[in-house]
Structure 1
Amino acid sequence: MKKSILTITLNPSVDKSTSVQNIVPEKKLRCNAPKYEAGGGGINVSRALKRLGIPSNVLFTSGGKTGDMLELLLKQEGLDIIPIHISSETRENFIVVDQTTNQQYRFGFPGASFTSSEQDEILTIIDQLYPAPDFVVISGSLPGDISAEFIGFLIKKYKTKGSRVVVDTSGDALRAALEEGVFLLKPNAGELAALVGKEELENTDLDHAAQQIIAQGQAAIVVVSLGAQGAVLYTATEKIRMIPPLVKIRSTVGAGDSMVAGMVSVLAGQGTPEEILRMGIACGSATTMAEGTALFQKKDVDRLYAEVRKH
């Protein structure tokens, strides 16, 4: 029986990307035609799952003309969307590649705020969704004026319904998720260090911090992403580290979200921890091969999956 998946994005965006020859100040730059794509943590997870042939429901806030564009973009990709309309305008992100150096410049705008009544509406809609999904992915940032405790409310609701919650966020929202406890947590090394009050962690400290989270019942699985050095998966009884294959990196936009999608795809199929990590790294690496804000191609994931190796 196929497992149902819901992704939640509280700070979605429309990503506008372009390229230009030689970025310099004080000069009018003639950019190439822009490309528009739906963005935001959970939204990218659902877009990536779609490329893996796995359906999901996409719950997100949507406001103004940018929100209308976001909904249209997602419908064009054939996703099952659950927009929650708010009075504020959905944000945009702007990405520019300098063709001379191949360097990428990423500009992120503040997220759309939503009122306390709109927060209540989000919780009400979540309560009304039936049946409860098997997996809930809460991914991405929070708008600046939304309390991190709101993440905790969402997690608690779904845990009560019997859903397994996967979280990929940072800062206070990550702490709130830990306090409530989740099924799978995906911090990077810097985020994990911040959780334990340090600037950075050595390998042994990394192990201790992740294993402590599991021992305290705050997560059943912790996956620490290490960028080009791969990732480490921890459970109560296992530690698995894997290294990604060498690829030509064109953009890192969406790589972390693609990694989450890869892992969730295997979780939903009841795969092993090694398969979970291998697929996550393959999807993340394949997305770095794509230009601008594009996600991976399935054929690249299939090829890279076999090339991911144990450390």
Structure 2
Amino acid sequence: MQSLGTLTMNPTIDVSYEVDRVRHTHKIRTRNEQYAPGGGGINVARVFVRLGGNARCFYLAGGATGPALDGLIDLHLLVRTRIHIEEPTRVASAVLEMETGKEYRYTPQGPTVAEHEWHACLDALGEADCGVMVMSGSLPPGVPIDFYARAGHLMKERGIELVVDSSGEALAAAIDAGGLLLVKPSQGELQQLVGYDLDTADAVAAAAMEIIASGKARLVAVTMGHEGAVLARKEGTIYLPALEIEAASAVGAGDSFVAGMVHALMCGKDEVEAFRFGMAAGSAAVLNAGTGLAHPADIKRMFAMIPEVVA
């Protein structure tokens, strides 16, 4: 299997805590404090490597928090290419309130990136050596909305297949540039893209097939949270309902889905089996609170619960 590359333009240091109850004004004592490297592409790489693959993370990092992110990535044994920026890497928090079982998530906008800094990122990507590049997550302030399209052009010149998991104008520009192996929006992100309500699985499937019909992507996988997921391809669409499991956290479920599906595709699995494996990975990610993402044993267990699909 070829190696994977991931691009994270707006990474995070993900911090998770448990508290008895969230109350304003009062000092709230936390427990089970955990730190992890985060952001779309880094999360994808973490799960992909757990599944036995090789991955290199390309990411921007700077300020006092940049070296801390580097250290966390090293602890997870990920190969990395850091593009230095001046402003600090953001720190995101997930707080689990034990009294209610609800999770509160706080995610900063991220640093402002200078023009020469995002140009340096494109230069680094021009040297990428991988079979597939996953471009995932939001673009920080200062980065042009067509950045993924520009980066994708460099990848296509090198014969590298592209996966995009983003939102808003960045996602629209990447799709418009075309040549994508896989696009993985959430239901809300696809709805924002098309500009009208997608309140049923059939509506989601129809919108996803419009992207396939345009020739811009080979596969479109739309995650719908507790409603399941839809896969669109030239042969048509497939819907899988969500597994009936108790969700402890939503952190990294979509990233785990991407990692599972891409890993299966790169192992030679067919598109439907890869979709099922992505569903299993996404489901595995929500089993535990915090930023742990999906683990292979849980993915295997979830995969056995997903019904086989007659393609």
Q: Place the TM-score, normalised by the shorter chain, in its bin.
A: over 0.9
Query: Which whole-Å CA distance do the structure 1 matches of 2:138 and 2:262 have between them?
Result: 19
Residue 133 (structure 2) aligns with: 136
The residue correspondences of 1:66-145 to structure 2 (distance < 5 A) are: 66-129=65-128, 132-145=129-142
1:12·1:41 contact (CA, 8 Å) conserved in 2? yes
2:118·2:143 contact (CA, 8 Å) conserved in 1? no
1:213·1:219 contact (CA, 8 Å) conserved in 2? yes
TM-score under structure 2 normalisation?
0.95
- Report SS of the residue matched to 1:110: coil
Of 223, 226, 237, the match for 2:224: 226
Question: Offset of 1:33 from its aligned partner?
Answer: 5.1
TM-score under structure 1 normalisation?
0.95
Structure 1 residues without counterparts, runs of 5 or longer = none
Query: Which whole-Å CA distance do the structure 2 matches of 1:173 and 1:234 have between them?
Result: 21
Residue 196 (structure 1) aligns with: 194
Query: Which whole-Å CA distance do the structure 2 matches of 1:263 and 1:203 have between them?
Result: 20
Q: Between Structure 1 and Structure 2, how many residues are aligned?
A: 308
2:13·2:35 contact (CA, 8 Å) conserved in 1? yes
Query: Which whole-Å CA distance do the structure 2 matches of 1:175 and 1:293 have between them?
Result: 28
- Report SS of the residue matched to 1:65: coil
1:155 aligned to 2:144?
A: no
The residue correspondences of 1:1-311 to structure 2 (distance < 5 A) are: 2-32=1-31, 34-129=33-128, 132-181=129-178, 182-309=180-307
- Report SS of the residue matched to 2:31: coil
Paired AA for residue 245 in structure 1: L
| Larger displacement relative to structure 2 (301-310 or 39-48) | 301-310
Question: Offset of 1:310 from its aligned partner?
Answer: 5.3
- Runs of 4+ aligned structure 1 residues displaced above 2 Å come to 199-208
| Larger displacement relative to structure 2 (208-217 or 283-292) | 208-217
Query: Which whole-Å CA distance do the structure 1 matches of 2:137 and 2:286 have between them?
Result: 18
Q: Percent identity?
A: 36
Query: Which whole-Å CA distance do the structure 2 matches of 1:51 and 1:290 have between them?
Result: 17
- Report SS of the residue matched to 1:136: strand
2:201·2:230 contact (CA, 8 Å) conserved in 1? no
Question: Offset of 1:65 from its aligned partner?
Answer: 2.2
How far does the alpha carbon of each residue in 1:262-289 deviate from its partner, in whole angstroms, 9 at most, with x for none? 0010111121111111110101101100
Paired AA for residue 72 in structure 1: G
2:185·2:221 contact (CA, 8 Å) conserved in 1? yes
